[in-house]
Each structure stands twice: as C-alpha cells, then as structure tokens.
A and B are shown apart, each in its own frame.
Chain A
Amino acid sequence: MSNLTDKASQATTTSSTITSPETTGLLDRSDVRVSYTNNFGDAIHAFIDRVKSGDLGSLPVVVGLVLIWGIFTAINPLFLSANNLVNLLFDCSTVGVIALGIVCVLLLGEIDLSIGSMSGVGSAMLGVLWANEGWPIALVIGGSLCVGAIIGFSYAFVRTKFGMPSFVSTLAGLLALLGFQLYILGDTGSINLPYDSALVSFGQLMIIPAWLSYCLVLLPGIVVVVMGLRVRHKRQSVNLSAKSVNGIVFKALVLTVVLEAIVAYLNQSRGVPWMFGLFVVLVICMNYALTRTKWGRSMFAVGGNAEAARRAGINVKAIYISAFVTCSTLATLGGILAAARLASASQQAGTGDVNLNAIAAAVIGGTSLFGGRGSAWSALLGIVVIQSIANGLTLLNLSSAHRYMITGAVLAIAVIVDSLARQSRVTHGKA
C-alpha cells in the first residue's frame, strides 16, 4: 500500500517537474494530460475531435440546412427569395413554439405525443370562445393556456403517481384531446377569426420596423461582449483560465454581421415578423432557464439519472410536473398562434404532421430522444429545417401526400443520426 502511495506521489512530482517551465499557475490548467485550445488552429482541431466523438451539437442542422436550401434553390430559385423566407419565418413561429415545449419533455427522456391535438384544442377554444361567444381575448388566451397547463399536469401526475409511461398517457391524450377539439367545434367544423383583429394581424401581417430590427439584432453581439468581459474579469480574479478579449470580440462581430445580413436581406421584402420575434424571445428565455437556473440544471440531472437526482435532494416529481406543464402550455400557445396565422380554427388544426414536425424539429436541432441532452436553440434551428422542407415542397407543387412521406423520412434520418451520435459518445466515453 505504502509502495503504491509512493508511486502515486512520485508520478505527481515527475509530472509537475515536466510542466514547470510552462506551468500557467491557473487553477483549471494544472493537469498536464489535457491539451488546451490556445489559438484558432487548436479550436478547429478540438471541434473536429468533438464531432468525431459524437458530440455533434448543431452540426447536423447546418449540414441539413445547406443541403435542403441548395436542393430547393436549384429546383426553384424563388425558394431563397426574401419574400418566401419571410413567409417561412411566419410558419416557423407557430410549430416552433410547440417544439420549444417538447424540448423540455425530451430532456427528461419522456415524450408528449399529444402536442398536436393540444394545439388543436388551443385554436378551437380561441375560435369558439372568442370569435363565436365574444369573450375578451385576454381571458380566452389565459384560459386556454390554463387548460393546457392542467392537461400537462395530468400527464405528469399519472407518470409520477402510477408510473404510467408518458408514451402511453400522451397517446391516450392525443385521441381524447382530438375528440375534445371536435366536440367544442361542434357542427360548424371551421370558425373564421375576425380578419381585422389585432391577433390575426399579429399572425399574418405585423412586421418589426426595419430600423428597430437592425437595432435589435445588435443586442446579441453587445450581450456577448459585455457578459464575456464580465465573466473574463471574474474568472481572472479567481485564477481561472479566461477567454481572450480578441476571441470574445471576434465572436460578437461574426454574430452581429451574420444577423445584420439576415435582417437586411429580409427587409428587402416585408421584414422580420413580430410573431417570429415572440418565438425568439421565448427561446432565449427558455435557454436562460435551462442553462442558468437551478431548475434547468435539475431538468438535465433528472434526464440523465433520475435516481441520482432524487438522492441529491432534487424534487423529481416537481421537475416532471414543470416539464409536462411547460410543454402542454406552449403547445396550446402554438395552437393559438397557428389559428391567428390561418385566421381560422378548424377541425384540421393540429392534426396531420404538426405532432411529428415539432418533435422532429427538436431532435434535428440536437435534443436527444434519450434524455439529458439538448437545448432551447434546437427548437429554433430544427424548425427552420423542417419548415424549409415543407415550404420547399409546397413551392414545387407537391401534394401533402409527398410532403408527409418526405417529412417522415427526414424524421427517421434525424433519429438515426441521434442514435449514432449517442453510440459514438458511448464508445468515446462521453455519454
């Protein structure tokens, strides 16, 4: 035993003598076995290594987008026109909000298959209570969201109380909610929303003024610089490695230039829809909640190892409830936005491919179906891919029959990529 101790301490001393010429003295840079990225070349190598080990991040999305946009533009140049892209953003916002909710549930390794029906119920309630019964709009939206929250709570309740797999309970919910949607719509089948109302113009017309959109997209860059410098200062003051000022400014500059370019292109047509702005704000809020709060940390912990989370004192049941409630509430909100977009609440709302589009968006964006891995941004990135496919196929005058088949194939590919990445992470000791 003492022999082993001696060897261990010997190993430590030899390794420290090796490094002494280049020891940085930083708290987190004292281990000689690890190579750290110091310059741009290192960063690229580190990125390639990460991808090889199955930590794909947003790479599949970028590759997918380039492929899809390339193909569709080659077939129909109208696809990349500013006008079409503005429409694309309108369409993204509705399903995107639903996808944002499903991210929460997927993070726990659960699933909600009823999000489509839930959004259908949201739009039906809007149509019946607001357009037909004339209730105040705020009350109707608030009430619908409460119904969504209650449905989500009931999924979490049967999951935590009876151990009913969410796959089954939400499949039952899919049918029950679809029935409820048809029931409250009654014989009319389809209700038109008042065309001159604020809600419908929000869903179809309202655009962020050009000057404001240029100013707003400056914010991310400013936040990157301010927060980056603050964190850098704080880390330096406690003797931790910090990012270089150049790196922070470079990142902020690239971000700003890219965003300004996108906005400038969109402003050639109508511009950036307010509804898309709302979606982005929701994504940013969710991203903050998932990465910077105790709740978010607990979500990842429960998704990774629920028993460990329980023993660490996390209220696992409350986490399940919060995830399912968030998911169903956002699905309802997505349904309301979809109704505003279409200016109608119909029996078809939320049916068909809405369910799978939302789930596929989250998965393509990089949220794992197996739990414990993902981000709010995956909803935004994924839905742009999914909606690009739908939009491109519509431009090609393909019927919904073809659209369903192709979207189904894309979802299958996304899940295969997710599974392969997971296997690769396991073999590289990262999952």
Chain B
Amino acid sequence: MSVNYSALPEGAQPILSLRKVSKNFGAVAALTEIDLDVYPGEVVAIVGDNGAGKSTLVKTLAGAHSPTTGQIWFEGKEIVMKGPSDALELGIATVFQDLALCENLDVVANIFLGQEKSPLHLDETEMEVKAWTLLNELAARIPNVRDVVASLSGGQRQTVAIARSLLLNPKIIMLDEPTAALGVAQTAEVLNLIERVKEKGLGVIMISHNMQDVRAVADRVVVLRLGKNNGVFNADASNEVLIGAITGATDNAVSRREKRIAELEEQVEVTV
C-alpha cells in the first residue's frame, strides 16, 4: 500500500487535509475517522461501493454537513464551515452530479448565476467575455454562449458546470460522478477537462464508480469502505487490488465472477 508522492514538488503542502473526520446521522456512522490529503495540481479519486460514505464526504467538504468530530485543515488553517457559501468563499467548489443548471437560461447566465456583478445593471458584455475566457481556458467547445443550456449535450453541460465552479477562482474543485451520464466521447472530453483543471494547479477531488476513468486521470485513489479509509493507492494499482479494497475482500462478487468465467473457458478448451 505504498503511495508514490514523488510526483509532488519537494515540501509541497496539502491544500486540504482531513484528520479523523467522522459524521454520524443518529446511530449510523456514515464516516469514521477519515483522513484525506489533497495537494495542489493533483487529482484524487474517491472510490467506494454504494453506502461507502462518498456522498457524505462530498457534502461535508461542500459545507452542506458539518462533521460530528475531527478536523478539516485548509491551506494550513483549521476551518469550520457553517454552510455551502462558506465553502465557496474558502475556495472549495463543487460540481454536483445533477449539475444544477437552469435549462431555460443561456450559458453566460448559468455561469454567473447568483454571482452577477452590478445587480441593478447587469453588464452582459463583461459577463460574456469572462464566460468565453473560462471556457477557452478549459478548451471547451461550446458553440455559442448565448444558447440556452437545454440545447447543449451532456458533455457540454458538464463543461458549463465545471466552468461555473471555476468562476470564483477556487483552490479545490470536487466533481461528483462527472462521467456517470456521459457517452464515450463526452467522457473523454470531461477527462480532458479535469486534466486541464489540474494543470492550472488546482486540487481536484473526483468521485467515480468507473475504474477506467479513475485510472485515466487520478494521481491517487482513495478507497472508502463502510465509512472508513480502506487504503490509498496509486493509479496504476491493479484492478483486483482496488476492487478488493472497495469490496473489502479478495473473495468478492467480481473476483468470483472472473474465476467462474475463467473456469468456463478452461472447460471449453478441455472439451475442444
């Protein structure tokens, strides 16, 4: 379980550190003593089975839940977040799974939603320029920022949601299942996007069920199981190791299935 931090610059400080963070909902311990570090310019994937506590962790970091016990350190200072706006102010941006875009508004309006400057006289030109700048930084291919979001594809919407999260110059961006609803090409686009965000020196936390995507962009893979840390791996860790950590056993449904298929193939070979 040795983790390779050598890619990081010497003496790099994590932007975000969690130490022994727990979250209880009544009798249910959703998170138990979670430790997590995110460094600038790295992508940390959080994987785990259903009910592993991924969403609770995201909501805790987005300020929607406050941890029952434990400490959250941000840029070397311990922080307490009272609500989502606190997280935004600190520089923790979240892209939710359902993206939370208004389909009847155009791309510019969605990117600036709730953050419009000069509330009594909106400066459309300035907002449009800023929108193009953000989208171009992501090398995003949005045909026209004056199109309503309803006319965009799933990948393009994801792009708009990510561009919106970058508006306030966050230090960390969290993506909840960014590729869950996307096709092959759109998934590739979003993965490119994540790499570009990383190149900008931001820390990225990505939650995903898709091992292939995780392997493609993540620097480290943090496995959660039943609300606890169940290992930190490099992206090149083998599938069996990761799945073993996720399911908590070397003998699990996935490995049993693989074994059965292998046995079947052997039988076929024998009969042939």
Contacts and interface: CB of A to CB of B under 8 A. Distances in A.
Nearest to A237: B125
Given A1-B188, A297-B109, A305 B125 contact: no
Contact of A373 (B104, B128, B142, B145): B104
Nearest to A310: B100
B129 A300 contact: no
Contacts of B139: 12
Contacts of B268: none
Interface string B75-104: 000000000110010000000100111111
Contacts of A294: 116, 119-120, 122
B145 A28 contact: yes
Contacts of A33: 143
B121 A293 contact: yes
B216 A309 contact: no
Interface in A310-340: 311-314
A28 B100 contact: no
Nearest to A107: B104
B150 interface: yes
Nearest to B94: A311
A332 B105 CA distance: 31
Interface size range on A against B: 35 or more
Nearest to A314: B114
B102 A234 contact: no
B188 A8 contact: yes
A431 B152 CA distance: 10
Contacts of B169: none
22 contacts: A1-B191, A4-B185, A8-B188, A8-B192, A27-B132, A28-B128, A231-B125, A234-B125, A235-B125, A240-B125, A292-B121, A293-B121, A298-B114, A300-B109, A308-B100, A313-B85, A314-B114, A372-B104, A373-B104, A429-B151, A430-B150, A431-B104
Contacts of B116: 294, 297
B119 A312 contact: no
A300 B122 contact: no
A240 B128 contact: yes
A305 B103 contact: yes
Contacts of A300: 102, 104-105, 109
A5 interface: yes
Contact of A238 (B125, B146, B216): B125
Contacts of A303: 104
Interface of A: 1, 4-5, 8, 12, 27-28, 31, 33-34, 231, 234-235, 238-240, 292-295, 297-298, 300-301, 303-305, 307-309, 311-314, 372-373, 425, 428-431
Nearest to A289: B120
Given A304-B103, A312-B113, A1 B216 contact: yes
A31 B114 contact: no
B39 to A, nearest CB: 22
Contact of B119 (A8, A295, A304, A313): A295
A329 to B, nearest CB: 20
A431 B103 contact: yes
Interface in B135-174: 136, 139, 141-146, 148, 150-151
Contacts of B99: 308
A293 B100 contact: no
B189 interface: yes
Contact of B105 (A235, A304, A307): A304
B151 A312 contact: no
Contacts of B119: 293-295
Contacts of A312: 100, 113-115
Interface residues of B, number: 43
A4 B141 contact: no
A309 B113 contact: yes
A157 B225 CA distance: 44
Contacts of B144: 28, 31, 34
**Most central of A235, A307, A429 by chain B CB within 10 Å:** A429
Given A28-B132, A303-B104, A431-B104, 14 more contacts: A1-B191, A5-B188, A27-B136, A31-B144, A234-B125, A293-B122, A297-B105, A298-B114, A311-B84, A311-B96, A312-B113, A313-B114, A373-B104, A430-B151
A8 B196 CA distance: 14
B120 A293 contact: yes
A130 to B, nearest CB: 35
Given A5-B192, A31-B143, A297 B129 contact: no
A305 B113 CA distance: 12
**Most central of A4, A305, A429 by chain B CB within 10 Å:** A305
B129 A238 contact: yes
Contact of B104 (A27, A238, A304): A304
Contacts of A27: 129, 132, 136
A297 B143 contact: no
B62 to A, nearest CB: 10
A305 B100 CA distance: 8
Contact of A429 (B145, B150, B191, B216): B150
Contacts of A8: 188-189, 192
Contact of B102 (A231, A295, A308): A308
A297 B100 contact: no
A247 B125 CA distance: 19
B127 to A, nearest CB: 10
Contacts of B125: 231, 234-235, 238, 240
Contact of B101 (A292, A305, A314): A305
B180 to A, nearest CB: 17
B13 to A, nearest CB: 29
Contact of B113 (A234, A292, A297): A297
B114 A309 contact: yes
Contacts of B114: 298, 301, 309, 312-314
A225 B244 CA distance: 69
Nearest to B212: A1
Contacts of A1: 188, 191, 216
Nearest to A313: B114
A431 B141 CA distance: 21
A312 B115 CA distance: 8
A298 B151 CA distance: 20
